[in-house]
Amino acid sequence: MIDKKGRVELAVLPFYYIVKMIIKEFELRLRENRGFSENTVKNYTRTIKFFDKYLKKITFSWGVDDPKKIKLLHVNWFIQNQKIKWKDARTCNNYLAWIKLFLRFCLISDYETLDYRKIMYSREIEKKIDSLTEEEAKKLLYYFKKIKCITEKDEIIKTRDLCICQLLLYTWLRVSELSNLRVRDIKNQMQIIGKWWKARPIFLTDEDIKLIDLYLYLRNNNSEWLFISHSSNSLWNRLSNVSIEKIIREWAKKAGIEWRVFPHKLRHTFATNLLWSWVQLSHIQYMLWHNSLLTTQKYLTVLNNELEKSHNMIKRY
């Protein structure tokens, strides 16, 4: 049956489809109306399914399929359960943000439910931005130049992976945006559609262009995607986000970097590099495409050592 607002009445649907329909409707809203990336949509819906599973565990009957039964107590219990599992305050606040967004979606869609404004975030301890040091970044790039390839395929893969590292170290690109680059996009100044469906400029140096051209020449393939797989089980397929993360992690380990290195860590390195070059914070905000300057200001923690040196230069009377 269809109600007056054009929605399918939940009472006439099987229980499994009610849950699936609400979450699918939420997922569709995120993707089409909010402009979130696919990774963000997956994280949000995964958390709501996680919350749904927890509600069914403690109530033995209902979950997010019945939004009007969700109380503030249930949300608090869920977060406390995560803290027992040693989830930090930042992770718990992410869960709260995603649950609040789901409840807001329910209210907008005329489902009776808990007022999302009643949910309060936990206090977070501000963490230092996780980025490579100048020595570590040099060590990673130097390793590519030092290693000798035996076969032509190894040379192609090494050139491709060096392109990936350089683009992540010298541009604002996120891993999802990097994996979606097409050959036709490549030029000194190009426009990329990033988060929130907004076009952002990327500036490539002549050195970057030459390296990419070398990779395209070596691979000798007409794929529209810039970075493709050269392994036998997925030959010529576009590299996924997971594949790029694995590539960065393995090369960093081979280069002798002790910590686990992820693509986003290279983006942080790019931002701190700009900061050390005394680029204006507002320009860094624009290049990283942060909605709030407060997000960009977190990178100021890398200047703590310089602040200490400046303080020690004070003349004492």
What residue spans define the domains of the chain? 10-118, 134-308
CA geometry: angle 198, 203, 209, nearest 5 deg: 125
| pLDDT at residue number 90 | 83
Q: Identity (one letter) of the amino acid at 258?
A: E
Nearby residues of 9 by Cβ (< 8 Å), 6 or more positions away = 1, 2, 3
Model confidence pLDDT, tens digit, residues 233-266: 888 899 999 999 999 999 999 999 988 898 989 9
Asked whether residue 14 carries a pLDDT value surpassing 60, the answer given is no
Give the C-alpha separation, 72 to 114, whole Å.
7
Asked whether residue 12 carries a pLDDT value surpassing 60, the answer given is no
CA geometry: angle 150, 155, 156, nearest 5 deg: 145
Q: What is the end-to-end Cα distance of the chain in Å, rounded? A: 84
CB-based burial label for 189 (10 Å; 0-12, 13-18, 19+): exposed
99, 100, 102, 108: CA torsion to nearest 10: 170
Q: Which residues pair with 182 in a beta bridge?
A: 225
Number of neighbouring beta carbons within 10 Å of residue 121: 14
Model confidence pLDDT, tens digit, residues 85-116: 888 888 899 999 999 999 999 999 889 999 99
- CB distance 5 to 109 below 8 Å: no
* 75 membership: H or E segment, kind and range: helix 72-84
- For the segment(s) 134-308, the CATH number from 3.40.50.1220, 1.10.3720.10, 1.10.443.10, 3.40.190.10 is 1.10.443.10
The answer, as to whether pTM is greater than 0.85, is no
Q: Across the chain, which distance is largest between two alpha carbons, in Å? A: 84
Beta strands in 84-233 (DSSP E): 189-193, 199-203
- CATH dotted code for 10-118: 1.10.150
| Better-predicted residue by pLDDT, 19 or 11 | 19
Nearby residues of 70 by Cβ (< 8 Å), 6 or more positions away = 55, 64, 103, 113, 114
